[in-house]
Amino acid sequence: MKTAVIILGHGSRRSGAGDPLQALADAVRQRGSYAAVEHAFIQHASPTFAAAVNSSLRQGAERIVVVPFFVQPGNHVTQDIPRMVGEAQRTHPSVAFAVTDHVGAHPMMAQIVEDLVGKSDAERL
């Protein structure tokens, strides 16, 4: 089964704000593990979630896994994303959709914070 990944972020009106999410999707894509890797935004920026789904389908995806790139489980994570994925599932009933936990819930977050602090000018206690 060909799997596509959509890394889904919030979006911003600020020019260039979405570039890091695009770079992350590019890095995951270069690993070659998935049929497609897309990035998308819930609001204020392109590409939209629907555009990422359509791009994934054009690349032969039979399963689409959505990764909510959010630190906290707010309304976008708990309500909006499940609603959007449900709508996509109804529109594309032959495609299997799944949603991972939000990125902030991953156990490596503490390590990431420590790594960021170590690369800063901040003093450690």
**pLDDT single digits (tens) 5-16:** 999 999 999 999
The per-residue pLDDT for range 67-122, each reduced to its tens digit, is 999 999 999 999 999 999 999 999 999 999 999 999 999 999 999 999 988 887 66
Q: Can you give the pLDDT at residue 10?
A: 97
Q: How confident is the model at residue 60 (pLDDT cuts 50, 70, 90)?
A: very high
Confidence (pLDDT) at 46: 96
DSSP string, 27-68: HHHHTT-SSEEEEEESSSSSSBHHHHHHHHHHTT-SEEEEEE
Residue 125's pLDDT is 53
Q: Is the peptide bond before 20 cis (omega within 30 degrees of 0)?
A: no
Which pLDDT does position 124 carry in this prediction?
Answer: 54
Residues whose CB falls within 8 Å of the CB of residue 72, separated by 6 or more in sequence, listed in order: 102, 104
Domains delineated in the chain: 3-118 (3.40.50.1400)
pLDDT at res. 118 = 86
User: Is residue 34's pLDDT more than 80?
Assistant: yes
